[in-house]
Amino acid sequence: MPEYAKALSKIFGTALDASFDGVVITDNNQPDNPIIYCNQAFCDITGYSMDEIVGHNCRFLQANDRNQKVRKTIAAAVKEGKSCQVDIRNYKKDGSLFWNELSISPVHDENGNITHFIGIQNDISRRKQAEHNLNLERENLEKRVNERTKELQEHEQFLKGIVETIRESLIVLDPELNIALVNRHFEKFFKVNSNELVDHKLTDVLEGSWDIPELINLLRNVLPEHNPFEDFEVVHDFPYIGNRRLMLNASQITVGETYQNWILLAMEDVTERYVIEKKKDDFIAIASHEMKTPITVVKGNLQLLERMLNKGETDGYQPRLKQATDSLENLSRLIANLLDTSMLTSGSTRRSSEVVSIAEIVNITLGEVSEVYSDHDFVLYGNSDLNVVGDRSQLSQVITNLLTNAAKYSKDTKQVILHIGRVGNFAKISVTDTGIGIAKENHKRIFDRFYRVSANDNNYFGAGIGLYISQQIISDHGGTIWVESEIGQGSVFSITIPLSL
């Protein structure tokens, strides 16, 4: 049997030496658990020879790195006689660190006493390093993801800020023309809440007011081919906000997988601008027409005079000369008015401030106008013994303008009534004609700079500029100007000017 045991021991020894795991055995019956055996792999891992190892406690492998937490786990296991597994930092003979995956198991005798401990160990430095790198990488990645997320959130906030600040209505549509988003300006402009719009079809919302065939055709058919398109004009009667002229820009966008062929629609309200442009065009058309009219008369009369001169005729030249002169006078007044308009608009007129007698300026202007409209009947009544503070020539201009208009537009009846009176601390001057009258809807607009009564009603050519100037002058003087009139019933133009007290 000893032979057999000996052979077996040799086989075990060989087997242990063939293992890649380091094996170490300590004797628990001797003080401090000295190492009594280690295999070749243990020597290979640690760099020590067996002779250098035997007799030491295993802790010699920890060198000066003595504060590792896992030591407590080992100590507890040894004390309680249990097995344990730990990863511990050990040091090779040359001082280099290696991570040791250590399993410790106690060996009991037949009485249950612990005789030995067997330690199995592995150099897991590479695995540890990989784990460590992996951890680092993970932490890095997490940090980078956090940073990137923050950046994206900030970016989104920033873009959102831009979108919300922009003074244009923006709407985002999915490829089926469902509304995905509208900005605040859109809500404000159309007087709607985005809740009422989002996830609904563009053609269904706002009582179908966006169901505009040309627009839908544009978004569905034109946009995919001509992306982006700009300046598509829509004139439409929208709920809550009425008739509006909008300029639309659209672009089709594809971002990643989620946003394929989405549509961004930006709209600008050009209603006011269009009205102003239109008024300006009208003004130029009227101004040039009004200038050409007296020029026609001057030219015609000069040609007639030339003929008379050639024929040696002297009869009848006077009315021709007078008509030419009067027309030139009209032309020059018109030009002066036009200049006044631009100066009043740019605020470059200088207004003198003196005490002006209403009686005086009314008498002078009435004299001048009644001379031009000699077949008209001008009636003056009331109390004109009033003084105001202001610019004499500007105030005269207003009265002249009102009298001239009244005379001009009451061709048939030829009667103009001028009433002057005191109302509170104001002088009130009213000019009444018995002419064609003005429709209610035009009462305010006739004082606009570029206003003329619509193309089908050609009755008020030339009146627009004068009334605009008058209104500017009177409001500069702290007064008001207005009209009361009905079609066919004549008109009463009234002004008030603060009295000089």
Contact residues for another protein (CB under 8 A)? Answer: 284-285, 288-289, 292-301, 303-304, 323, 326-327, 411, 436, 455-459, 461
CB of residue 341 to another protein, shortest distance in Å: 19
Q: Strand 259-269 to strand 22-27: parallel, antiparallel, or no bridges (unpaired)? A: unpaired
Amino acid at 8: L
Cα separations (Å) of 288 from 167, 276, 300, 338, 356?
Answer: 37, 18, 18, 11, 35
The smaller minimum CB distance to another protein, of residues 123 and 433, is found at 433
Contact between 448 and 341 (Cβ < 8 Å): no
Which two structure tokens, joined as six digits, stand for 14?
């060989």
* Dihedral sign (CA 449, 455, 461, 463): negative
Determine the length of the chain: 501
| Complete DSSP assignment for 105-167 | EEEE-TTS-EEEEEEEEEE-HHHHHHHHHHHHHHHHHHHHHHHHHHHHHHHHHHHHHHHHHSS
The smaller minimum CB distance to another protein, of residues 195 and 458, is found at 458
CB of residue 327 to another protein, shortest distance in Å: 6
The smaller minimum CB distance to another protein, of residues 107 and 308, is found at 308
The smaller minimum CB distance to another protein, of residues 85 and 323, is found at 323
CB of residue 282 to another protein, shortest distance in Å: 11
The smaller minimum CB distance to another protein, of residues 48 and 409, is found at 409
The smaller minimum CB distance to another protein, of residues 2 and 488, is found at 488
Amino acid at 40: Q
CB of residue 335 to another protein, shortest distance in Å: 15
CB of residue 452 to another protein, shortest distance in Å: 10
The smaller minimum CB distance to another protein, of residues 5 and 455, is found at 455
CB of residue 300 to another protein, shortest distance in Å: 4
CB neighbours of residue 205 within 10 Å: 21
Cα separation, 265 vs 497, whole angstroms: 52
Cα separations (Å) of 464 from 44, 286, 371, 489?
Answer: 111, 9, 23, 20
The smaller minimum CB distance to another protein, of residues 301 and 472, is found at 301
CB of residue 218 to another protein, shortest distance in Å: 30
Closest listed residue to residue 227, CA positions, set 261, 193, 207, 251: 251
CB of residue 417 to another protein, shortest distance in Å: 22
DSSP letter assigned to residue 351: P
